């Protein structure tokens, strides 16, 4: 410790050194990150190898949780398949709808601003409990949706949320309805495509369809890529709609992975098993994200690559 | 820079000011934390009752926290895990064994022996209900009976009558009449939960689990088959609720929009009337037609427990003693946590009760007559939640019409449930 020849260190001199003040400013965030994310993250990694009922200290049981997950827990595979199906159906539909609406709203008319706001509203309320409960009421057996179907002479006796064939689809419709945020991102990207490309194409005699597939879509692929990754991660983590609307019923056809995890960890006090499930999901999400990233070189076009 | 420093100083001062707020123990006062679950009716009564307690024991300060049933067990377990177990907590029969075996709960025998917790007016069978392996961990808040709540207005409108002690076929006849008249359906026989199975077994003098909970308490699949068959008949004939058809947001709500009857506990009558504003009444759980015993039983409605890690167990005991023996307490709470376990308190509240409470008391008195109820039920084992969830999964498949051979399916359930119980017993 060679401090003798330095000037005495005051609080002011410490803070004046480059960077220190910056760290002080981000300190609240850093503390939050460590306390609420980093520590729980690694704690759950440890807990995944333990039996932990919350009431007594955790007990190390090695890979037992994973053995139980893969070979004993039927609902684990059920919930895994449900989540997979949910993601595979919801993500493409949601991307297509948000892109479609973005294309419609890209044209500027007097009411465009209003429309943009209106279409974004569902996303503002998206994750909220109130909307999930509203959905439950709308699609109830004697809910508004069936009454409308009845009023226009269509069969109105479907138990949308109670029939194993329609329940997951009803929840997916809620997810798709909340397309607003990806729509806004698409919209911004569409606006960024130079008008001159289209003008040149028109001069060459290209119609709207040709222009969409040859100009708009390729120019949007980086954004499509971004939205795809986001949506896939979001779909795998889905929780609210199943937990609040169906609770996994009927016949576990809407039992999302996240809901099964929550039930084991918080209803049955099996925190160790829940942690193991969470880590397995992390690996699955990482795998699919990596897959999308790997495939991106084949279909995502960046202008800087000069293609 | 100076400005920044002064802001920083201000922030730091604020933090040091905040710190003492979290430990605001007044001089000489004992601070206790208490946690319970309940409806709005209960929250209001309990808060009033606690104010009374603090008035009588000015050296004790209670910090209250409450929740609904669903959130309660997450909240309590999180507090236990965080080393913040409430000094006094409300406990349910289904969780008592689990919390006691994990050493969360303090034993109460020494306080009973010293007389700090006065149970001289409490019957032995009620005291036993709070014991695990002979050690008292919990004291019942009151005695309860499972009941069938029903919409009296709808039954009257249908021109029929539901007798106090109906058989299953009498109940089914009323169900059909109400359905034809009002379209409101049954959720009792179609429920097919572990509780419904328990009623059915009790009618034959059996129980859901054997005495040491190492296996199911029955080995004939017919009990399950009969329960499922009745539910299927009810669904097919229209008077029973088909799964996935309910549009109620809450249990209270279901008695308004879907169902004319519902299985609950006797102390919940007031809460159901408050929440729905409807003419709801109660009768005993219907017995199967060839019953050899009563399906109805008396049970502790819930318990008070003290935390093992509490630093003020003696003060917590004072509160539980207040709830058990003090007329001032029952003048406020009445029978919201069921009929007081102390004979003296039962006498004390009898004259002052309102009509609903009187109905509850006379109901429990009625059930308490010799031969009216089967013996007090044992505490469920810790794995009861697993078994009852498993039955829920099986019942759902039956109710969706996916099962052809009910007997084989019942046997499959019994084997799997016995496996869970055996594995849990070995731990």
Q: Are residues A23 and A80 in the same domain?
A: no
Give me the CATH number covering residue B50: 3.40.190.10
Measured distance CA(B317)–CA(A177) in Å, rounded: 55
Counted domains in chain B:
2
**pLDDT by residue, tens only, chain B of 427 residues:** 455 555 555 555 555 544 444 444 456 789 999 999 998 889 999 999 999 999 999 999 999 999 998 889 999 999 998 889 999 999 998 889 889 989 999 999 999 999 999 999 888 888 888 988 889 999 999 988 899 999 999 999 999 999 988 999 999 999 999 999 999 999 999 999 999 999 999 999 898 999 888 999 999 999 999 999 999 999 999 999 888 877 777 788 888 888 999 999 888 888 898 888 898 999 999 999 998 888 888 888 899 999 999 999 999 999 999 999 999 999 998 888 988 988 889 889 888 888 888 888 888 888 877 777 766 667 788 888 889 999 999 999 999 999 999 999 999 999 999 999 999 888 7
Spatial contact of A253 and A75, defined as CB atoms under 8 Å apart: no
B254 lies in the same domain as B358: no
- Looking at CA atoms only, how far is residue B421 from chain A in angstroms? 15
Residue A5 lies inside a defined structural domain of this protein: no
Q: What predicted TM-score, i.e. pTM, was given to this entire model?
A: 0.84
Compute the nearest-CA separation of A251 from chain B (Å). 6
CB burial readout A154-177, b (16+ within 10 A) else e = eeeebbbbbbbebbbebbbbbbbe
pLDDT band at A135 (very low <50, low <70, confident <90, very high): confident
B62, B106: one domain: yes
A254: exposed, middle or buried (Cβ count in 10 Å: 0-12, 13-18, 19+): buried
Q: Testing the interface with B: which of A20, A54, A142, A243 to mutate, by most B Cβ within 10 A?
A: A54
- Nearby residues of A2 by Cβ (< 8 Å), 6 or more positions away: none
User: Given this model, what pLDDT does residue A268 score?
Assistant: 87
Give residue B208's domain range.
Answer: 146-296+383-426
Same domain, A109 and A200: yes
| pLDDT at residue B2, rounded to an integer | 53
Which residue of B81, B244, B386 is the best one to mutate when testing the A interface, meaning the one whose CB has the most A CBs within 10 A? B244
Contact yes or no for A55 and B245 at CB 8 A: no
The pLDDT of residue B97: 86
Q: Which of A216, A231, A237, A223 is nearest to A184 (CA)?
A: A223
Domain assignment present for residue A8? The answer is: no
| pLDDT surpassing 90 at residue A118 | no
Cα torsion through A243, A248, A253, A255, rounded to 10: 70
**Helices of type H across chain A:** 11-16, 20-33, 39-47, 64-71, 74-106, 112-124, 129-138, 144-151, 167-177, 180-192, 195-203, 208-211, 217-236, 240-241, 257-262, 271-299
* Claim to verify: residue B172 and residue B287 sit in the same structural domain: yes
For residue A195 the two structure tokens come to 């008008």
B320 shares its domain with B361? yes
Q: Which of the residue ranges A36-40, A87-91, B68-72, B398-402 would you say has the lowest mean pLDDT? A: B68-72
Structural domain boundaries, residue A42: 13-47
**Is residue A276 assigned to a domain?**
yes
Q: Are A236 and A178 members of one domain?
A: yes
* Cβ–Cβ contact B387 with A under 8 A: no
A140 → closest Cβ in B1, B103, B247 = B247
What pLDDT sits at residue A71?
93
- Tally of CA atoms within 13 A in the half-sphere of B317 that contains its CB: 20
Q: How many domains does chain A divide into?
A: 2
DSSP code for A242: I
**Which residue among B244, B385, B386 sits closest to A162, beta carbon to beta carbon?**
B244
Indicate the range of A37-46, A202-211, B7-16, B55-64 predicted with least confidence: B7-16
SS3 annotation, A17-37: CCCHHHHHHHHHHHHHHHHHH
Q: Which residues of A touch B81 (CB under 8 A)?
A: 54-55
Q: Is residue B23 part of a domain?
A: no
What per-residue confidence (pLDDT) applies to B21? 44
CA–CA gap between residue A91 and residue A234 (Å, rounded):
9
- Dihedral, CA of residue A227, residue A230, residue A233 and residue A239, to nearest 10: -100
State the pLDDT at residue A70: 94
**Structural domain contains residue A59:** no
Query: If you average pLDDT over every residue of chain A, what do you get?
Result: 88
Are B333 and B347 in a shared domain? yes
| pLDDT for the residue B19 | 47
Tens-place pLDDT, residues A257-272: 999 999 999 888 899 9
B247 touches chain A (CB under 8 A): yes
Query: B130 is written with which tokens?
Result: 């709070």
In B246-342, where does DSSP find H-type helix? 251-257, 269-276, 313-325, 327-333
Closest Cα of chain B to A264: distance in Å?
10
Confidence at residue B5, expressed as pLDDT on a 0 to 100 scale: 53
Q: Output the pLDDT for position B24.
A: 47
Domain holding A79: CATH number?
1.10.3720.10
Chain B hits for A250, Cβ within 8 Å:
243-244, 396, 400
Of A133, A136, A251, the CB nearest to B396: A251
All residues at 6 or more sequence positions from A110 whose CB lies less than 8 Å from its CB, including other chains: none
Please check whether residues A146 and A286 belong to one and the same domain. yes
Cis peptide before A250 (omega within 30 of 0): yes
- Chain A residues with beta carbon closer than 8 angstroms to that of B245: 141, 159, 162
User: Is the CB of residue B241 less than 8 Å from the CB of residue B190?
Assistant: yes
Assess contact for A133 and B249: CB atoms under 8 A.
yes
């Amino acid at each position: 410790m060679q401090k003798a020849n330095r000037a005495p260190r005051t609080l002011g001199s410490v803070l004046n050194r480059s960077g220190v003040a910056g760290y002080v400013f981000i300190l609240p965030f850093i503390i939050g990150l460590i306390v609420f994310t980093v520590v729980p993250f690694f704690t759950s990694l440890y807990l995944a190898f333990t039996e932990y009922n919350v009431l007594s200290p955790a007990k190390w049981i090695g890979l037992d949780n994973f053995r139980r997950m893969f070979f004993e827990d039927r609902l684990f595979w059920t919930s895994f398949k449900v989540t997979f199906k949910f993601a595979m159906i919801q993500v493409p539909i949601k991307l297509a709808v948000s892109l479609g609406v973005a294309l419609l709203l890209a044209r500027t008319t007097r009411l465009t601003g209003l429309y943009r706001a209106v279409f974004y509203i569902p996303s503002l309320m998206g994750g909220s409990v109130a909307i999930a409960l509203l959905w439950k009421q709308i699609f109830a057996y004697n809910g508004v949706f069936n009454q409308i179907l009845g009023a226009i002479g269509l069969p109105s006796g479907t138990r949308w949320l109670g029939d194993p064939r329609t329940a997951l689809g009803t929840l997916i419709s809620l997810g798709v309805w909340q397309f607003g945020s990806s729509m806004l991102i698409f919209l911004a990207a569409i606006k960024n495509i130079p008008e001159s490309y289209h003008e040149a194409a028109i001069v060459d005699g290209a119609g709207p369809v040709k222009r969409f597939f040859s100009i708009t879509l390729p120019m949007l692929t980086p954004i499509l890529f971004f939205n795809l990754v986001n949506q896939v991660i979001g779909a795998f983590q889905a929780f609210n709609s199943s937990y609040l609307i169906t609770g996994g019923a009927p016949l576990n056809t809407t039992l999302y992975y996240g809901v099964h995890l929550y039930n084991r960890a918080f209803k049955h006090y099996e925190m160790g098993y829940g942690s193991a499930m969470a880590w397995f999901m992390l690996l699955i999400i990482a795998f699919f994200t990596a897959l999308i990233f790997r495939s991106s070189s084949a279909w995502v076009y960046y202008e800087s690559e000069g293609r | 820079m100076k400005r920044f420093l002064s802001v920083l100083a201000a922030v730091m001062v604020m933090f040091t000011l905040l710190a003492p707020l979290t430990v605001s123990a007044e001089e000489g006062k004992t601070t206790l934390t208490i946690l319970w679950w309940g409806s709005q009716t209960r929250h209001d009564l309990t808060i009033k009752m606690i104010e009374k307690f603090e008035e009588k024991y000015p050296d004790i300060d209670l910090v209250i926290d409450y929740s609904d049933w669903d959130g309660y067990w997450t909240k309590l377990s999180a507090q236990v895990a965080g080393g913040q177990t409430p000094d006094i907590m409300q406990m349910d029969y289904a969780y008592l064994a689990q919390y006691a075996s994990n050493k969360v709960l303090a034993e109460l025998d020494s306080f009973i022996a010293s007389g700090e917790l006065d149970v001289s007016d409490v019957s032995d069978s009620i005291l036993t209900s709070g014991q695990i392996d002979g050690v008292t961990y919990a004291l019942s808040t009151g005695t309860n009976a499972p009941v069938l709540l029903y919409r009296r207005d709808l039954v009257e409108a249908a021109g029929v009558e539901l007798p106090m002690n109906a058989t299953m076929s009498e109940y089914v006849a009323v169900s059909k009449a109400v359905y034809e008249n009002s379209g409101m359906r049954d959720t009792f026989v179609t429920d097919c939960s572990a509780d419904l199975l328990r009623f059915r077994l009790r009618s034959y003098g059996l129980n859901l689990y054997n005495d040491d909970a190492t296996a199911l308490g029955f080995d004939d699949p017919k009990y399950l088959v009969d329960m499922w068959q009745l539910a299927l008949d009810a669904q097919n004939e229209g008077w029973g609720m088909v799964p996935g058809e309910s549009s109620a947001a809450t249990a209270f709500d279901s008695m308004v929009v879907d169902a004319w009857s519902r299985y609950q506990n006797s102390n919940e009558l007031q809460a159901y009337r408050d929440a729905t504003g409807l003419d709801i009444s109660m009768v005993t759980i219907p017995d199967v037609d060839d019953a050899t015993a009563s399906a109805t039983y008396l049970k502790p409605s819930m318990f008070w427990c003290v935390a093992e890690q509490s630093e003020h167990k003696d003060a917590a005991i004072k509160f539980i003693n207040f709830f058990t023996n003090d007329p001032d307490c029952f003048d406020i709470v009445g029978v919201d946590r069921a009929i007081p376990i102390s004979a003296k308190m039962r006498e004390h509240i009898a004259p002052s009760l309102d009509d609903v409470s009187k109905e509850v008391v006379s109901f429990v008195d009625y059930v308490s007559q010799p031969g009216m109820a089967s013996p007090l039920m044992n505490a469920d084992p810790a794995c009861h939640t697993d078994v009852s969830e498993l039955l829920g999964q099986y019942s759902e498949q039956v109710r969706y019409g996916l099962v052809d051979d009910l007997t084989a399916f019942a046997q499959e359930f019994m084997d799997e449930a016995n496996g869970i119980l055996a594995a849990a017993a070995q731990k």
